[in-house]
Amino acid sequence: MPTSNVLSGIEIANRMNAETASRAADLSVVPTLATVLVGDDPGSVKYVEMKRRRSARWGLGTVHVHLLSDTSTSALLAVLSELADDTSVHGILLQHPLPAHIDGRAAFDAIPLTKDVDGTSSAAFAAAALGRPGHRSCTPAGIIALLDHYGVPLAGADVVVVGRSAILGKPLAAMLTERDATVTLCHSRTTDLAAHTRRADVLVAAAGRPGLITGEMVRSGAAVVDAGFTPGDVAPEVSEVASAVSPVPGGVGPMTIAMLLAHTVDAAEWRSERCHPGGPDRT
């Protein structure tokens, strides 16, 4: 029975953040991240605060716009357009989820590709799917960096992703395909989820359903990434079957924020070099 290794993201994220801070210090401008929050969802308030604190800690500037929960789509688009035109802002993060009355796709697509450091726009999604320049969606990019760090092979591997959201499962599937993995994307309408997950060399749980992935759903020796927030989508007994499991907290979370900070500095570097985003591909 495999004794599972821990795919910890803490040390890797700290190393990435130190490199990001050093790149930021080399620039003649302070790379600045604008965060936009609509409403007062407690989780979103906490995550935005964490992203801002970590930005400041690693030498990035921050601007924060907090809008009331009844803000209209057009008012939000006006704020995003102002930030898009503001030359002191290098990256824009629009915190999801947005209130239901807002046209979320229109809002994310109002962020120009060069400033879309969270990789949430349709243009960023297309760039990721086609292997073109652009910032990659942060959580998928963090997951792939985590797997790369621990030497988990992706080319030719059977990778099963559970969850197909526009910010996580779908871009991750596209990015893994670019990495030559054979990807199966599962969701709430998948019949016999376990039949798919049991085939996976690499299994990514991104459903937001605590304990969804149980030991019997995992192939012996598989690498398992848990993208869920505490307590995580992966049941504790999976560690007895898998070769490696990412912890919650301390796995995907720190990697996601490290990607966001790195992308913000990429955006500032690209601007200072007056070129289209074509810098380092972090996937």
Residue among 109, 115, 116, 118 flagged as catalytic:
118
Catalytic status, residue 158: no
Q: Is 271 exposed, middle or buried (0-12, 13-18, 19+ CB in 10 A)?
A: middle
Considering only residues 194 through 233, tell me which ones interact with ligand NAP, judged by CB under 6 A: 206-209, 212, 227-229
Work out how close the CB of 152 gets to ligand NAP at its nearest, in angstroms, rounded to a whole number.
18
- Given the complex with ligand NAP, which of 60 and 186 has the nearer CB atom? 186
Considering only residues 59 through 78, tell me which ones interact with ligand NAP, judged by CB under 6 A: none
Catalytic status, residue 95: yes
Number of residues lying near ligand NAP (CB under 6 A): 25
Among 76, 117, 181, 186, binds ligand NAP (CB under 6 A): 186
- Given the complex with ligand NAP, which of 165 and 184 has the nearer CB atom? 165
- Given the complex with ligand NAP, which of 143 and 244 has the nearer CB atom? 143
Q: Does 162 bind ligand NAP (CB under 6 A)?
A: yes
Considering only residues 121 through 160, tell me which ones interact with ligand NAP, judged by CB under 6 A: 139
Cβ–Cβ < 8 Å for 35, 67: no
Q: Does 164 bind ligand NAP (CB under 6 A)?
A: yes
Q: Does 250 bind ligand NAP (CB under 6 A)?
A: no
Instruction: Could you list the residues known to form a binding site, using ranges.
Output: 163-165
Whether cis (ω within 30° of 0) applies to the bond prior to 133 is no
- Given the complex with ligand NAP, which of 252 and 269 has the nearer CB atom? 252
Catalytic status, residue 109: no
Q: Does 168 bind ligand NAP (CB under 6 A)?
A: yes
Q: Does 175 bind ligand NAP (CB under 6 A)?
A: no
Handedness of CA 185, 186, 190, 196 (dihedral sign): positive
- Given the complex with ligand NAP, which of 169 and 277 has the nearer CB atom? 169
- The string of DSSP codes covering the chain is -PPPEE---HHHHHHHHHHHHHHHHTSSS--EEEEEEES--HHHHHHHHHHHHHHHHTT-EEEEEEE-TT--HHHHHHHHHHHHH-TT--EEEE-SSPPTTS-HHHHHHTS-GGG-TT--SHHHHHHHHHT-SSPPPHHHHHHHHHHHHTT---TT-EEEEE---TTTHHHHHHHHHHTT-EEEEE-TT-SSHHHHHTT-SEEEE-S--TT-B-GGGS-TT-EEEE-S-TT-SB-GGGGGTSSEE--SSSSHHHHHHHHHHHHHHHHHHHHHTT--S-S----
Among 45, 75, 84, 193, binds ligand NAP (CB under 6 A): 193
Among 187, 198, 199, 271, binds ligand NAP (CB under 6 A): 187
What are the residues binding ligand NAP (CB under 6 A)?
A: 139, 162-165, 167-169, 186-190, 193, 206-209, 212, 227-229, 252-253, 256
The catalytic residues are 51, 95, 118
